[in-house]
Amino acid sequence: MDRAVTISQVAALAGVSTGTASKALNGRGALRPETRLRVQQAAEQLGFVANAAARSLQTGRTYTVGMITTDSIGRFSIPVLLGAEDALGAGQMSIFLCDARDDPIREQYYLRTLLSRKVDGIIVTGRRTQARAPIGVGLPVPVVYAFISSADPQDCSVVPDEADGSRRAVQHLLAIGRRRIAHVTGPEHHHSATIRAQGAVDTLAAEGLRLATPTLYGEWSEAWGRQAAGILLSTGADVDAVFCGSDQIARGLAEALTKAGKVIPRDIALVGFDNWDVMVDGCQPALTSVDMDLEGIGRTAAERLLAAINGSPAHGQHARPCRLVPRASTAV
């Protein structure tokens, strides 16, 4: 039976000391990128597999992170998880995913379970960007909030800049020559709906313009999109573009407008928000949409958590810019 490759063999092949090789593979120490890469390549070449128990004893860490989510469907939390895994995988760290299902009792149970497993840190995420109460006070490990934010300014939260997303959507419509823009979005009391609506209003105001109609608030659904299209058509609103607060709304609106004889984008250009592949590809024509870069949020949250684990915590809310993905619904 072949003997396991040792860290000393990896160090010898990489031309570094055993201590340097250990730091490079554990993601610790202030090493030059080329040194870290050389050690990682040597480890891969030799088929080196780190002994998790030995590494834990040596560093006092378990190299595990907990992620607690309230997003049972996974629409937002799965991309955040993928991004976090990308960042944590470089340090050979694993993630325990716990679905609290919007149940505070279940959430606290998972928190206690993760702490009992001695995780090095915790990422909290969910399906809404609205600030929530901290998951705990005086916890023994660092916590970072991803997509959702903590109401405590001392906590670290990584969120999408939804106002920036609205600005990009409206500026895109203006760039293709549209000036009579309507906005259809979700519930008026919903944090994201109000932020996105205000972003649209502010962007138009900066150009000396205003919405063609008052903002139409409703539900995050295709059914509301179809209903909103009926409202716009029945009132005879002079509209040449609609910015929707979600892709679901935009898809329903596109369906109703097309059924009423409107040609998208010739008659009315259309932009959604979320860049949800099921919706943007299923829309006819394919939907231009704002992407919040959920994987990027997950990566950044994990990087902030790693920094906190290593003694350099960040505080406050960190907003990441969105990006616009143009498709046929706004083609010139």
State pLDDT tens for residues 133-165.
Answer: 999 999 999 999 999 999 999 999 999 999 999
- Residue 271 is predicted with a pLDDT of 98
Domains 64-160+294-321 and 162-291 fall in the same CATH topology? yes
State pLDDT tens for residues 275-316.
Answer: 999 999 999 999 999 999 999 999 999 999 999 998 999 999
For the chain, the three-class secondary structure string (H helix, E strand, C coil) is: CCCCCCHHHHHHHHCCCHHHHHHHHHCCCCCCHHHHHHHHHHHHHHCCCCCHHHHHHHHCCCCEEEEEECCCCCCCHHHHHHHHHHHHHCCCCEEEEEECCCCHHHHHHHHHHHHHCCCCEEEEECCCCCEECCCCCCCCCCEEEECCEECCCCCEEEEECHHHHHHHHHHHHHHCCCCCEEEEECCCCCHHHHHHHHHHHHHHHHCCCCCCCCCEECCCCHHHHHHHHHHHHHCCCCCCEEEECCHHHHHHHHHHHHHCCCCCCCCCEEEEECCCHHHHHHCCCCCEEEECCHHHHHHHHHHHHHHHHCCCCCCEEEEECCEEECCHHHCC
Domain ranges across the chain? 7-50, 64-160+294-321, 162-291
Identify whether 265 is preceded by a cis peptide bond (ω within 30 of 0): yes
Both tokens of residue 308?
């906190």
State pLDDT tens for residues 33-42.
Answer: 888 889 889 9
The CATH number given to 64-160+294-321 is 3.40.50.2300
Q: Residue 53: is its pLDDT beyond 80?
A: no
- Residue 233 is predicted with a pLDDT of 94
- Residue 91 is predicted with a pLDDT of 62
State pLDDT tens for residues 102-137.
Answer: 899 999 999 999 999 999 999 999 988 889 999 999
Entry pTM: 0.82
State pLDDT tens for residues 211-227.
Answer: 999 999 999 999 999 99
What burial class does residue 278 get, using C-beta atoms within 10 Å of its C-beta: 0-12 exposed, 13-18 middle, 19+ buried? exposed
Percent of the chain clearing pLDDT 90 (strictly above): 74
Whether 153 contacts 160, CB under 8 Å: no
Q: Residue 54: is its pLDDT beyond 80?
A: no
- Residue 107 is predicted with a pLDDT of 96
Whether 172 contacts 200, CB under 8 Å: no
> pLDDT class for 23, splitting at 50, 70, 90?
confident
Task: Assign domain 162-291 to its CATH superfamily.
Answer: Response regulator (3.40.50.2300)
Instruction: Of 136, 77, 134, give the one whose Cα is nearest residue 111.
Output: 136
Q: Which residue has the tokens 């004893």?
A: 57
- Residue 332 is predicted with a pLDDT of 81
- Residue 61 is predicted with a pLDDT of 75
C-alpha 269/C-alpha 174 separation (Å) is: 11
